[in-house]
Amino acid sequence: MKNVTTNTDTQGLAAYTDAQLQAELVSRKSATQNTYADVYERAGCSGEKQRKQLDRFFDGVRRNVSITKMSTRGNGEFISGNVKNFARKLGNLSGVHEILGMATPTFTSAHAEGLATFVGNEPDALGVCRDYLRMRKDAGTGFTTKLFLEQVGTYEGKPFGVVVKDDKVGTRYIIGALRKDNAQAFKQTSPFYKSVDKATKGQRMKVDSLVFDPQG
């Protein structure tokens, strides 16, 4: 974990008395344990079972397993429905990456069909859109056409993406957990879409990336 600082500087330890050396080692061990305890507390873990679930969640993130797979019963990577709560309380994927010491993309990322530039917390918007669209597909209510992510931004501190359907009309949706804990899709004709569009006008970043393929 990134927050766990391990002091590997042994210079001068030979001059410590046995008591001083023991006190130093205990202090370092305590600092490490307290940091882990803080993360468990932040994630809302209650009991050893949920702490183990959080550990497995972190392992999945390191292996680039989607939150949807880890929270969907019946999937080979399923851990628990608690995974979504862990992610939300720890600051979504960017917050988890920080805890684990993983680099959150702040560079140009090439995809199979498209190129997008993500800055700061913007990968959260990509993750939110992908997880939501995969969840819809897994539930049998997925979109039947390709969807492209064309803008990302934040609304009241919450990441969202603007996606457009690969159809003749080019219907747009805003996807994000903007009104509930779980992500929703808001069609461009809905009052809420128009409200978010107006509030974030000029603040969104343009991207161009395939975010969902029903055949993929």
Q: Is residue 5 part of a domain?
A: no
Nearest to 87 by CA among 73, 103, 100: 100
Q: Domains in the chain: how many in total?
A: 2
Same-domain status, 67 and 125: no
Residue 102 confidence (pLDDT): 66
Same-domain status, 95 and 113: no
* Residue 101 burial (CB count, 10 A): 11
Q: Is residue 163 part of a domain?
A: yes
Amino acid at 169: V
Residues of the chain with pLDDT under 70: 1-37, 102-123
Residue 141 φ/ψ, nearest 5 degrees: -120, 25
Residue 3 confidence (pLDDT): 42
Rg (CA), the chain: 21
Predicted TM-score (pTM) above 0.85: no
Same-domain status, 76 and 117: no
Same-domain status, 93 and 117: no
Q: Residue 204's domain spans which residues?
A: 108-212
